[in-house]
Amino acid sequence: MDAWKLEWKPGMPNQPHVYWDSDVAKWIEAVGYSLAQNPDPELEKLADEVIQWMADAQQPDGYLNTHFTVVEPDKRWTNLRDLHELYCAGHLMEAAVAYYQGTGKRTLLDTLEKYADYIATVFGTGESQKRGIPGHEEIELALVRLAETTGKKKYLELASYFIEERGRQPHYFDIERKARGDESPYRLGGPDILPYAYNQSHLPVREQTTAEGHSVRACYLYAGMASVARETKDESLAKACKTLWNNITTKRMYVHGGIGSSRFGERFSFDYDLPNEDAYAETCAAISLVFFARNMLRLEKNADYANVLENTLYNGVISGISMDGKQFFYDNILASHPKYHKYSGQKSPQRQDWFGCACCPPNIARLIASISDYLYTQSDDTLWIHLFAEANANIRLKNTNVNLTSKTEYPWQETIDYTVNPDAEKSFTIAIRLPDWCDNPSILVNQEAIDLEKANKNGYAYITRTWKKGDKIHITFPMPVKRVYAHPSVRQNCGKVAIKRGPILYCLEECDNGKDLAALRLPPIAEFEVKASPESIGSVPMLIAPALRRDPSPWNGKLYSTNTPKYKSAQLVAIPYFLWANRGPGEMTIWINE
């Protein structure tokens, strides 16, 4: 979300932006999820009040947008390309669904249904309708949620319309631009880049084969496409989603799961271009990839989606928030020198209290508050376990209530224990994801080993049996420290190695390793020791290995030398990447010279 246009800082007067509603909406959505798990009358009262303001702000025709009601009422629907009107509508719909599901209260849901009904009259292929599409996607996935919640198919149809209309000629953004009297062609994205690729409207969606443009917009669109493909059983749309998924995850995704490497347009750049120190990798972009992954998972049970989802969640998403939950990263760089940002036009490499464009903090809030929605999906007879965490869930399988509880210290420990408690003995399937990072998983049911080679289908171990009260599943996912190498076409990482333990990506920080992290070299054979990290970063597992440090003495104070480099023995201390920058400024790197 174009943060680079704003320079607001805490203490300065609020600088309202046209998409203010979306921030409020994300907060309401987070409150909805939170109340579903943890009732809090005070918080609920506050949210009810805000919702009432929102409902009161709705216009007689159903329109609801505070900016275009109060500030610029004459500009309604005049600039879908830049002014985020449909984007705000989408976020309000998601908020309405979450709040209704969390509290049973319909005020916001009714308001947004009315708004969606009105939008459906304005946009479409009918003669009197505008053939508009959002410049910032979001409403597509939101409309599918609204359709699911209300059972009203027309919202799905509207979502479908917004997706199908994208990239059609004559281009709506040209039409509305000229209608505004704006004769300047759209150039966002710099020369030599298809201008409308910035907002994924350069081509019809089925013809888009690479993930382009602003990465949050892109994955919100793709997530919406996956939802529509699922609901409409549209195979060509599903295929387009897979093509884009593959392009992202095999060519354009950081090892921490972040996407959108370029801060110039907060966008995808090109295959294998993944700069570390200059990474953008907006927190919201990682979140959008999580949404895309989840919607792909609902379309097709393939662990690839859940593997990426888990990796992104544990690394590139939660890196966006500080230990105390009060400070945020907008961009999630993979290497840092404390002075570099001063001379590179980047943001500070320390988390900030807030942003002028505060899209990321409430986005993290709604994701973390809804994390339980990511653990499982189900069909009538199968429960898929995608993520591993302590939880207590009640699921209806084959018309039977099944209570499932889990005990685990995952991702720090290797074991997860489930207790399955169906109301009655019943045959159904539990499908457990076998994480891609784990070479030797084992699953015992009531102490009996499952043959995982036989049980494995697309990365899930399918266990079908007659389950009865008290059945135990004991999972072990061994977590040896692993070295990760980037494809040789990633020019930034050739000769370097990243370290993971389980799903957790590690990094080096100056406070543990001294200055000049690039001078450290991890020998190919070095063994890692796992120790508890300092309390200040949660005493989580920290990795220690013998290493080498390039000895500066042969340079004799000069900058360049023809002497063969020498090394001194050293120690390398790695902490989980998402915990970096919680102990003051300093260098950091994920990729280590090997």
- Rounded to whole angstroms, the maximal C-alpha distance in the chain is 79
CB of 549 to a copy of itself, least distance (A): 8
Could you tell me the two tokens for 189?
A: 């994205």
**242 vs 426, which CB is nearer to a copy of itself?**
242
115 in Cβ contact with 69 (< 8 Å): no
Q: Determine if 255 is a binding residue for a copy of itself (CB under 8 A).
A: yes
Q: Which residues of 176-198 are buried (b: 16+ CB within 10 A; e: fewer)?
A: bbeeeeeeeebebbeeebebbbb
Query: Active site residue: 85, 140, 266, 310, which one?
Result: 266
Q: Is 535 a catalytic residue?
A: no
Of 178, 469, 487, 531, the one binding a copy of itself (CB under 8 A) is 487
Q: Determine if 190 is a binding residue for a copy of itself (CB under 8 A).
A: yes
**238 vs 517, which CB is nearer to a copy of itself?**
517
215 in Cβ contact with 189 (< 8 Å): no
**232 vs 456, which CB is nearer to a copy of itself?**
456
Integer angstrom CA distances of residue 446 from 344, 450, 467, 499: 58, 10, 11, 34
**340 vs 412, which CB is nearer to a copy of itself?**
340
Segment interacting with a copy of itself, rule: CB under 8 A, options 134-142, 261-269, 366-374, 449-457:
261-269
Of 106, 178, 180, 342, the one binding a copy of itself (CB under 8 A) is 342
Segment interacting with a copy of itself, rule: CB under 8 A, options 18-26, 39-47, 248-256, 460-468:
248-256
Strands laid side by side in the 391-397 sheet: 391-397, 400-408, 415-422, 471-476, 442-445, 448-449
Of 13, 170, 181, 191, the one binding a copy of itself (CB under 8 A) is 191
Site for a copy of itself in 516-535 (CB under 8 A): 516-519, 521, 524
**145 vs 337, which CB is nearer to a copy of itself?**
337
Binding-site size for a copy of itself (CB under 8 A) equals 67
Q: Determine if 569 is a binding residue for a copy of itself (CB under 8 A).
A: no
Task: Supply angle C-alpha 175, 263, 323, rounded to 5.
Answer: 125
Q: List strand residue ranges (DSSP E) for 78-155, in order.
A: none
Site for a copy of itself in 271-290 (CB under 8 A): 272-273, 275, 277-278
Integer angstrom CA distances of residue 239 from 205, 207, 228: 11, 11, 12
Q: Determine if 489 is a binding residue for a copy of itself (CB under 8 A).
A: yes
Segment interacting with a copy of itself, rule: CB under 8 A, options 164-172, 186-194, 353-361, 373-381:
186-194
Distance, in Å, from the CA atom of 182 to the CA atom of 444, rounded to the nearest integer, reads: 66
Of 517, 515, 524, nearest to 495 (Cα)?
A: 524
**178 vs 566, which CB is nearer to a copy of itself?**
566
Residues 6 or more apart whose Cβ sits within 8 Å of residue 89: 64, 65, 112, 115, 116, 119, 139, 142
Integer angstrom CA distances of residue 559 from 445, 481, 552, 562, 563: 62, 36, 10, 11, 12
62 in Cβ contact with 114 (< 8 Å): yes
Owner of token pair 């409308």 = 196
Q: Determine if 593 is a binding residue for a copy of itself (CB under 8 A).
A: yes
Segment interacting with a copy of itself, rule: CB under 8 A, options 48-56, 450-458, 462-470, 484-492:
484-492
136 in Cβ contact with 199 (< 8 Å): yes
Q: Determine if 478 is a binding residue for a copy of itself (CB under 8 A).
A: no
Of 31, 95, 486, 522, the one binding a copy of itself (CB under 8 A) is 486
CB of 375 to a copy of itself, least distance (A): 24
Residue 411 preceded by cis peptide, ω within 30: yes
Q: Determine if 240 is a binding residue for a copy of itself (CB under 8 A).
A: no
Question: Hey, what amino acid is at 403?
Answer: N
Q: Is 266 a catalytic residue?
A: yes
Q: Determine if 264 is a binding residue for a copy of itself (CB under 8 A).
A: yes
CB of 263 to a copy of itself, least distance (A): 9
The secondary structure of 393-410 as a DSSP string is: EEEEETTEEEEEEEEE-T
Segment interacting with a copy of itself, rule: CB under 8 A, options 85-93, 138-146, 260-268, 382-390:
260-268
Q: Determine if 262 is a binding residue for a copy of itself (CB under 8 A).
A: yes
* Count of all residues that appear for the chain in the document: 594
Tell me phi and psi for residue 500, to 5 degrees: -130, 150
Q: Determine if 585 is a binding residue for a copy of itself (CB under 8 A).
A: no
Quick count: other Cβ atoms within 10 Å of Cβ 393? 15
**240 vs 490, which CB is nearer to a copy of itself?**
490
Q: Determine if 249 is a binding residue for a copy of itself (CB under 8 A).
A: yes
CB of 437 to a copy of itself, least distance (A): 8
Query: Active site residue: 88, 284, 357, 359, which one?
Result: 359
Q: Determine if 492 is a binding residue for a copy of itself (CB under 8 A).
A: yes
Give kind and range of the element (H or E) at residue 422: strand 415-422
Distance, in Å, from the CA atom of 286 to the CA atom of 284, rounded to the nearest integer, reads: 5
Q: Determine if 265 is a binding residue for a copy of itself (CB under 8 A).
A: yes
Q: Determine if 270 is a binding residue for a copy of itself (CB under 8 A).
A: yes
Q: Determine if 345 is a binding residue for a copy of itself (CB under 8 A).
A: yes
Of 122, 368, 484, 544, the one binding a copy of itself (CB under 8 A) is 484
Segment interacting with a copy of itself, rule: CB under 8 A, options 52-60, 246-254, 322-330, 445-453:
246-254
Tell me phi and psi for residue 38, to 5 degrees: -130, 90
Q: Determine if 65 is a binding residue for a copy of itself (CB under 8 A).
A: no
CB of 266 to a copy of itself, least distance (A): 11
216 in Cβ contact with 280 (< 8 Å): no
Q: Determine if 187 is a binding residue for a copy of itself (CB under 8 A).
A: no
Site mask for a copy of itself (CB under 8 A), range 542-561, x = bound: -------xxxx--x-xxxxx
Of 453, 433, 399, nearest to 503 (Cα)?
A: 433
Distance, in Å, from the CA atom of 330 to the CA atom of 268, rounded to the nearest integer, reads: 16
Q: Determine if 6 is a binding residue for a copy of itself (CB under 8 A).
A: no
Of 81, 217, 267, 386, the one binding a copy of itself (CB under 8 A) is 267
Distance, in Å, from the CA atom of 309 to the CA atom of 253, rounded to the nearest integer, reads: 12
Site residues, a copy of itself (CB under 8 A) = 190-193, 249-251, 253, 255, 261-262, 264-265, 267, 269-270, 272-273, 275, 277-278, 335, 337, 339-340, 342-345, 437, 482-492, 494-495, 498, 515-519, 521, 524, 549-552, 555, 557-565, 587, 593
* Catalytic site positions: 266, 359
